[in-house]
Structure 1
Amino acid sequence: MDNYFESPFRGVTLDRQVTHPNLIVGRYSYYSGYYHGHSFDDCARYLLPDDGADRLIIGSFCSIGTGAAFIMAGNQGHRHDWISTFPFYWMSEEPVFTGAANGYLAAGDTVIGNDVWIGAEAVILPGVRIADGAVIGTRALVTRDVAPYAIVGGNPAKVIRRRFEDRLVALLLDMRWWDWTDDQLRAAMPLLSSGAVEELHRHWIENIRPV
C-alpha cells in the first residue's frame, strides 16, 4: 500500500470493525493498522468467545497505533508456579498428557479508559486497566494498571510523567468531555484542541453541567 490516505486500515472507527462478543468499544475510538496491514481483529490476541470469559473493553476517543497487541485469555494455561509451564491439559490429543490438570487462570477484563493514546507496537498484558487520558509509549510493555493522564513507556512500562498537574487532571475527570453529545463537542472543539483545561471546565459549568 503506497497511499496511506487510501488504506482501508487508516482511522476506521472500531465500532465499525468489531464483531466479537467480548470486545466492547466506545464511540470514535480507532485503530490505525496501516503499517502492519491488518485490522484490529489481529490486535486482540487469544480473545475467547465464551460467555463469562475475560473481555477487552475500550472507551471512547481512543487512538490505537499500528501493531498494538492486547494479550487476553489470562495465563493461557501456563503456570509459572507449577513444576512445568507447559499447558499439558490443552494438548489432550497426546495420550501421554492424560490426567493433566487445567492450569488456566482468568485475569479479569482488560479495560482501556477514554481518550487513551496507545503507541505503535505497544503490548498490554491481561487484566490491565489503563485509566482515562493515559498515553502508552511506542513498544511499551504494560504489565500493571496505569493512572489517569499518566505517560508511560519502556519494558516493563513505567511512568515518565503526567500530562497535566493533579489539579487539572481533577478538572478533566470531573467534566468527562468524552461523554458529551456531538453537539456539545462541536461547540467546544476549539477548546478541546488546545491546552486550556480551566477554560474548558468553565465552559462545561456554564453550558453543559447538569443543574
Structure 2
Amino acid sequence: MALLDANAVNPITLPDGTVYRDTVYLKNVIDHPRMEIGDFSYYTHSAKPEDTAGILAPYLGHSVRERLVIGKFVQIARGSYFITSSANHPMTGFTTYPFRIFKPETFGYKDLPVKDTIVDHDVWIGQNAAIMPGVHIGAGAIVAAASVVARDVPPYAVVGGNPASIIRMRYSSEVISELLRLTWWDWPIDKIEANLTALSSGDLATLRLA
C-alpha cells in the first residue's frame, strides 16, 4: 500500500477512483509570504485551489507583520477561517471607524499591535469555526463546529461555543505530557503509518516502543 504523499494537491481518492477535488493539502496550494504550513495539513472548500489562501485567511495581506502558522496533520473543515490582526480596527480612541484605509497615503494601521496566530500539530477544526487574531491552539486540540476561538487553547483540549471554552480534556495530564514528548508528527511517514493502529486506538505503550 502506498504511503501518504505529502506533495499531493488533492489527497483523497474515493473507492471508485475519483479524486475528491474539494480537499487540498494547504502547503501545496498556498504560496503566501506570511503563512507557514506543515505537511499533510488539509482544508476543504469548493473554490479553485489558488483561492485557498484568501478563503482561509481573508485579511492576511502579503505585507502585513503577523504570520499564520499551521503545523503538520492539521484538519480544517469546510467554512472555517482565520480572522488575523490585519482585520482589526483602531480601538484606543473615540471611534473604531478605519478612516486611514480609505486614502492611499494613509492606508494601513502599522501602529496597531499584532500577534502571530498559531495552530500546532494534529489539531481538528470543525466546520464553520472562526479563529480570532493571535490565538495559539495547542497540539491535539479539537475545535467544535461553529465555535469562535478568541483565546488560547491548551494541547489536547476540546473547546466549543462562542466564545469557545474548554468542554473537556481529551486525556490526563500525564498522557498529554507523554504525547507532547513523543511528537509522533515529526516521525517519518513510513514510521507513522507503521504505527497507525497504536495511534488510532490510543495504545501509548506501543508508541513508546516505536
Distance 1:86 1:65, change over 3 A: same
Which residue number in structure 1 is paired with residue 101 of structure 2?
90
Distance in 1 separating the partners of 2:106 and 2:43: 43
- Indicate yes or no: 2:202 matched with 1:191: no
Distance in 1 separating the partners of 2:141 and 2:41: 14
- Indicate yes or no: 2:53 matched with 1:49: no
Distance 1:149 1:99, change over 3 A: closer
For normalisation by structure 2, the TM-score amounts to 0.83
Contact 1:68 1:122 in 2 (8 A): yes
Distance 1:79 1:171, change over 3 A: same
3-state SS of 2:201 partner: coil
3-state SS of 2:85 partner: coil
Which residue number in structure 2 is paired with residue 67 of structure 1?
79
3-state SS of 1:198 partner: helix
Kindly tell me the number of residue pairs found equivalent between the two proteins.
191
Which residue number in structure 1 is paired with residue 5 of structure 2?
none
- Indicate yes or no: 2:117 matched with 1:110: yes
- Indicate yes or no: 2:35 matched with 1:23: yes
- Indicate yes or no: 2:146 matched with 1:139: yes
Q: Could you say which structure has the larger radius of gyration? A: 1
**How large is the RMSD of aligned CA atoms in angstroms?**
2.3
Superposed displacement of residue 197, structure 1: 2.2
Structure 2: gaps of 5 or more residues: 1-13
For normalisation by structure 1, the TM-score amounts to 0.82
Which residue number in structure 2 is paired with residue 79 of structure 1?
90
Which residue number in structure 2 is paired with residue 170 of structure 1?
177
Distance in 2 separating the partners of 1:117 and 1:102: 32
Which residue number in structure 2 is paired with residue 208 of structure 1?
none
Which residue number in structure 2 is paired with residue 161 of structure 1?
168
Superposed displacement of residue 65, structure 1: 0.4
